[in-house]
Amino acid sequence: MNQTNDSNQEMLLSVNDLTTTFSAGKGQVVTVVNDVSFHVAPGEVVAIVGESGSGKSITSLSIMGLLKSGGEISDGTIYYKGEDILPLSKKKRRKLRGKEMAMIFQEPMSSLNPMQRVSKQIEESLALNTDLTRKERQLRAINLLQQVDIPDAEQVASRYPHQLSGGMRQRVMIAIALASSPKLLIADEPTTALDVTIQAQILALIKELNEAQETGVLFITHDLGVVADIADRVLVMYAGRIVEEATVTELFDHPKHPYTLGLLKAVPKLDEQKEWLDVISGNAPDLARLPEGCPFHPRCPKATDACLKLPALEEQRPNHYVRCIHPISEEANNFA
């Protein structure tokens, strides 16, 4: 869905027709994010869900201006607080990342400096993005660790990342992300590889911060079970495109795309005893060799010859958009 100029002004983040490509060598270019549009309002949590390789993380890195070598935004616009940020210089984008936008990555050990104590890493972020004195930065670092529910914050501040548990390292990453009180927080698989108890604590922490500070959150995950706990709206991505968009309640109660239904069926339920979990047959397509038409049709039980033409993202129910020629009927979508 394209955002109008008025909605670009109103929204915290507006992504319009975003297309991101990567050079694959020998002159080949692979489209990883394809014509993606969505928005995030202040205080809203929007989740992007899909299998590995669907384009979720590249969408977030495109927004943050952190694409690796060979990647580039070939089309589209990204508005932050009404300003198109793509034409900004690298210096201005870096300043924006520090003060206004922050990101929590999936694996904190690859993002934290193993040679620096925790306090030093938080203080560096504060030094770049605030006018606090050194003493004030030290106190603020401890306060941030306490804010993310780290016990014995002063002791933890003096430790190195390898001396902390996975859940504790992820809390440190959140503390660093929050150091400049960002208005937009992007969380890329922040609970992956954490046990269920720690996962619930991290989700509760992000939601608490979202509600207390009106922070807009873009939450990237492959797990619809996690989405149910944190999101207001959900974007389902497949092969670089959005295939369904709805509020979290609407999506769970009335899934319309066969891919979304497959993801929902794969979520384990405590009240069910199953020898095998439901899975989606086949594998996600190679983005360099996408099938003709709807990229999901080789795996789709509803596929017909009509699916050889790429469908548009259309409104099937109020504020519920689906990219499918054969959307799930009301009678068929009861998967409970």
Taking the model in full, what pTM does it have? Answer: 0.90
pLDDT the model gives residue 99: 85
In 3D, which of 227, 223, 209, 115 has the Cα closest to residue 171? Answer: 209
Residue type present at position 307: C
In 3D, which of 331, 321, 328 has the Cα closest to residue 237? Answer: 321
- Which residue ranges in the chain fall short of pLDDT 70? 1-9, 269-277, 331-336
Enter the CATH code of domain 5-42+57-89+232-322: 3.40.50.300
**Torsion, CA 203, CA 10, CA 240, CA 177, rounded to 10:** -40
List, for residues 219-231, the tens digit of each pLDDT value.
Answer: 999 888 889 889 9
List, for residues 174-202, the tens digit of each pLDDT value.
Answer: 899 888 889 999 999 888 777 888 888 88
Sign of torsion, CA 225 190 41 213? positive
pLDDT the model gives residue 275: 60
pLDDT the model gives residue 336: 45
The residue ranges of every structural domain in the chain are 5-42+57-89+232-322
pLDDT the model gives residue 9: 63
| Alpha-carbon 128 to chain mean position | 25
> Residue 74 CB: number of other CB atoms within 10 A?
12
